[in-house]
Structure 1
């Protein structure tokens, strides 16, 4: 599933993968399997991998421990002297994290406590056969804080992604929870900047969905995440082509006023902007922004992102007028104030808007300095 490369030569594993009979480690050929056992050192760890649940489980457990250590280290200054709001213990053993929009003394937790909480809620939903909305609300505990109701971000989201994957990695292909866990892991890796690692997870998830004939809605979700990863890796044309298809797919499936369509539109606009197709970017966002404000509200995260995106398309355009740059600054000032009030100053959306505002103000100063005064122009 996630281990998509040959353990001996790192080639992409074929559909008919050769696997170690004891621990299921994958190889591209029998030759590579024999070489790794005899000379590559696999024979020395095969027993430990097998007793650890097999190659996928062993790998997931190991990556989880590394991700938790990274998250705890990055959050150390913020969490010093705090206690977990779930178990009420301090961070002396595992260490604490906080990667949401909670402020003050709220939101500190152990990754293991957050994972245990999510696991219990999902198990309850499955046992009671709850409907999709109720199940989704419980599943969201894997990536959303139950106190502030905002997504976890950065290394905390990555650690929770590995926690989720190691919990459900043993599920059979075709189990909906397995696919959800793969998507959550991929998003966590991307949130922590591990795009090279996220890419094969997303590609494996998409391939599995297509094999199983999954719904168009589910496939569009995974394609959207994959497109963002392509963009992060600099494969902008490929990302834009996929984002365009996703947007029109959402229009057809959900209509222009659905949140998923608005999100797809903003992603498509981002792809256009990154390729400096500013007129197309502005035309699309001018159509989307009023709908987002009306359907989602002025303070919604997606509404703020569409306005942030639009402002960037104004001041980054070499052909922008002085009024365009002033409009960009005004838009970003309003958006930054709202984001700071809703999410706090440390949230990625707030930080991104603040950085864009700083750049826009610099562009405005430069433009004003080079523009003739009214008296000079007369």
Structure 2
């Protein structure tokens, strides 16, 4: 593709970016980082820093850095994507919320629990508006927030998140296993 379209063509760069999945599956994370950086450099040059395809590559780098344990770099990537998506798509767009959720998970992992809680609350409110209270992504966010509350010892808040999640999962088709998992958690709380 590079010979036909050129190194800087968007389709060539997308192919380079997609190769990261293959390398990641093989555990070759250093190779994935090289491919992502190459794709990012080309995307920024060809499409601009704030183009959705460029932001997709930045988000992939954030995921990669999280997997590598480079959490500060992951945070930097997620914050960039969040800022650009919020500007371009809005505060409650599902893509913006997905990035905020990734950042919430990262903050939880970093022990920045106040920041994690803020992200999860934002995502939960946005997903309830955009997708409804019983959508599986909304329920998963409520579960994540419940887990965070449990970790912080806020048991009443934990129950307040887990109960609606459990009830929602009970109504969702194909989520019998998730329902059982949440039931066990509720018994532990």
TM-score strictly above 0.5: yes
* Equivalent in 223, 227, 232 of residue 67 of structure 2: 232
2-structure distance, mates of 1:333, 1:291: 20
Whether the 8 Å CA contact 1:265–1:284 is kept in 2: the answer is: yes
Q: How far off its partner does 1:360 sit?
A: 3.8
Q: How far off its partner does 1:333 sit?
A: 2.4
Q: Which runs of 5+ in 2 are unaligned?
A: none
Give the 5 Å matches for 1:37-52: none
**When the two structures are aligned, how many residues end up with a matched partner?**
186
Give the 5 Å matches for 1:300-319: 300=135, 302-317=137-152
Q: Which runs of 5+ in 1 are unaligned?
A: 1-167, 365-378
Q: How far off its partner does 1:169 sit?
A: 6.0
2-structure distance, mates of 1:186, 1:245: 20
Give the 5 Å matches for 1:268-279: 268-279=103-114
Change in 2 beyond 3 A, CA 1:294/1:178: same
Q: How far off its partner does 1:300 sit?
A: 4.5
Find the counterpart in structure 2 of residue 186 from structure 1. Answer: 20
2-structure distance, mates of 1:195, 1:330: 41
Q: Does residue 1:242 correspond to 2:77, yes or no? A: yes
Change in 2 beyond 3 A, CA 1:208/1:332: same
- Give the TM-score normalised by structure 2: 0.77
Q: How far off its partner does 1:344 sit?
A: 8.0
Change in 2 beyond 3 A, CA 1:185/1:272: same
Change in 2 beyond 3 A, CA 1:211/1:262: same
Higher RCO structure (Cα 8 Å, ≥6 apart): 2
Please list the CA deviations of residues 37-76 of structure 1 after superposition, one character each: whole Å capped at 9, or x if unmatched: xxxxxxxxxxxxxxxxxxxxxxxxxxxxxxxxxxxxxxxx
Whether the 8 Å CA contact 1:220–1:246 is kept in 2: the answer is: yes
Change in 2 beyond 3 A, CA 1:202/1:359: farther
Q: Which moved more, 1:251-260 or 1:304-313?
A: 304-313
If each structure's helix is expressed as a fraction of its own residues, which one has the higher value? 2
Whether the 8 Å CA contact 1:174–1:212 is kept in 2: the answer is: yes
Partner SS state of residue 48, structure 2: coil
Change in 2 beyond 3 A, CA 1:229/1:173: same
The RMSD of aligned alpha carbons is 3.2
